[in-house]
């Protein structure tokens, strides 16, 4: 039997956008399955914040790029519980000009962002299809829409995620599953460390960085009943870049 409480699985949920999404969905009444790969201290901090606010949070340690680890962590849980929402947020940058990019830096970024989406979604999707309900929300990036020197690997991975979003949405719409993406622009997280922030702000029409809470609010909208007629779409939350 399905549980009465709704569940959201958030990958890469220990820091930054993922942590904000987990906290926001917990506020909306979701029990959180919080995935993280290495930073247990940060994951525990997020869980503590959710529990102190009256929510529930289970920590799931696995590398989304490792299909075996994904299956080992999720298969048993999925026998009795089905997430209503899956947020594919896990990803990272490893910047370099393509001519000097190491093979492992290309592969690592693709593996986590794109193969991670595949591994986790393929594992969870059959349960959603059986339930005939679900929301899959993929966290992309402005780098998927606009060329960024030094980020060919990251841009390719995030652009691939957008293509996957559209195709999967077409595949599962009749099963009651909605698939969308959120593309953050420059957002105030540790991923911006070392970048010329004042120069970057001049390129943003709103003149400031985005906040993780603003991204989380957009995810929460797509996870809500208000977004019941939206699928296969990408919401760009970027302060007007490219407008």
Please, what sign has the CA dihedral across residues 69, 116, 118, 75?
positive
Contact yes or no for 204/192 (Cβ under 8 A): no
Q: Are 192 and 148 in contact (CB under 8 A)?
A: no
| pLDDT score for 4 | 64
- Residue 122 CA, chain-centre distance (Å), reads 15
**Residue pair 165/180 in contact by the 8 Å Cβ criterion:** yes
Quick one: DSSP state of residue 238? S
Confidence at residue 1, expressed as pLDDT on a 0 to 100 scale: 45
Residues forming beta bridges with residue 187, ordered by sequence position:
210
Q: Which two tokens stand for residue 200?
A: 């970057």
Phi, psi at residue 183, to the nearest 5°? -110, 100
For 90-208, strand residue ranges (E) read: 134-139, 177-184
Query: What value does the CA radius of gyration of the chain take, rounded to a whole number of Å?
Result: 17
Q: Following DSSP, what letter does each residue of 217-228 receive, concatenated?
A: HHHHHHTSGGGT
Nearest CA-CA partner of 233 in 123, 138, 129, 141: 138
For each of the domains in the chain, give its residue range(s) and CATH number, in order of start. 7-237 (3.40.50.720)
Per-residue pLDDT of the chain (243 residues; tens, 9 = 90+): 444 689 999 999 999 999 999 999 999 999 999 999 999 999 999 999 999 999 999 999 999 999 999 999 999 999 999 999 999 999 888 888 999 999 999 999 999 999 999 999 999 999 999 999 999 999 999 889 988 888 899 999 999 999 999 999 999 999 999 999 999 999 988 877 777 888 889 889 999 999 999 999 999 999 999 999 999 999 999 999 876
Determine the Cα–Cα distance for residues 205 and 223; give it in Å rounded to an integer: 28
The catalytic residues are 154
């Amino acid at each position: 039997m399905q549980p009465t409480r709704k569940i959201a699985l958030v990958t890469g949920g220990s820091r930054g956008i993922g942590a904000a999404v987990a906290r926001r969905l917990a506020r909306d009444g979701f029990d959180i399955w919080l995935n993280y790969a290495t930073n247990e201290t940060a994951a525990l901090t997020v869980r503590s914040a959710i529990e102190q606010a009256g929510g529930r949070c289970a920590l799931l340690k696995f590398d989304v790029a490792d299909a075996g680890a994904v299956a080992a962590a999720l298969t048993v849980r999925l026998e009795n519980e089905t997430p209503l929402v899956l947020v594919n947020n896990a990803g990272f940058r490893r910047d370099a000009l393509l001519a000097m990019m190491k093979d492992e830096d290309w592969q690592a970024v693709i593996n986590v962002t794109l193969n991670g989406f595949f591994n986790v979604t393929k594992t969870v999707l059959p349960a959603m299809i059986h339930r005939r309900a679900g929301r899959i929300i993929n966290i992309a990036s402005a780098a998927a829409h606009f060329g960024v020197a030094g980020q060919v690997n990251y841009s390719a991975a995030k652009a691939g995620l957008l293509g996957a979003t559209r195709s999967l949405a077409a595949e599962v719409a009749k099963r009651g599953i909605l698939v969308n993406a959120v593309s953050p622009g420059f957002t105030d997280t540790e991923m911006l460390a070392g970048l010329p922030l004042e120069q970057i702000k001049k390129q943003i029409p709103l003149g400031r960085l985005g906040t993780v809470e603003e991204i989380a609010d957009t995810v929460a909208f797509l996870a809500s009943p208000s977004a019941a007629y939206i699928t296969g779409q990408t919401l760009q939350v970027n302060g007007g870049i490219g407008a």
